[in-house]
Amino acid sequence: MSGYRGHVVGPAGEHLAPTSVTPEQMAEARVAETARITKAVEAREQQEAAARAERERIAAELGQAELEDYREAARAAIMGSGGSAGDFERLWPELRAARLKDQAVSTLTAHARLVEQTKQEMRASGRYSKL
């Protein structure tokens, strides 16, 4: 369709500008742009998922290492105060549960403090009033 002369149509059907691009070419361009954007979004989501999985893996490893350090410290404390290895093994499940609970409470309260601090900073900025 060499020499095609049409017009760009706006969202309300109004003629916006003259063009030599055919409606089919416009449709193909829209499809191609949509595909490009979709591909970019999917790639970004995959990157974010991989980064999130890596952060979770690292956090789990650090948590395991910290719990192992705590286990050894608890074993040393029990053995150092006259307890036996059997005493430690019997007490460990309760000690472990208490430690994990304390860590969870600490994490949650730290998050709540951060949220409250952010709200206060936003209020103080004067740009946000309904927080």
Residues whose CB falls within 8 Å of the CB of residue 100, separated by 6 or more in sequence, listed in order: 67
d(CA 86, CA 71): 14
d(CA 30, CA 1): 19
3-state secondary structure of 18: strand
Name the β-bridge partners of 19. Answer: 6
Lowest-pLDDT choice from 6-15, 23-32, 62-71, 106-115:
6-15
Q: Dump pLDDT digits (tens) for 17-48.
A: 777 778 888 899 999 999 999 999 999 999 99
- The domain ranges of the chain are 20-125
Q: Are 15 and 7 in contact (CB under 8 A)?
A: yes
> What's the pTM?
0.56
Q: Dump pLDDT digits (tens) for 48-88.
A: 999 999 999 999 999 999 999 999 999 999 999 999 999 99
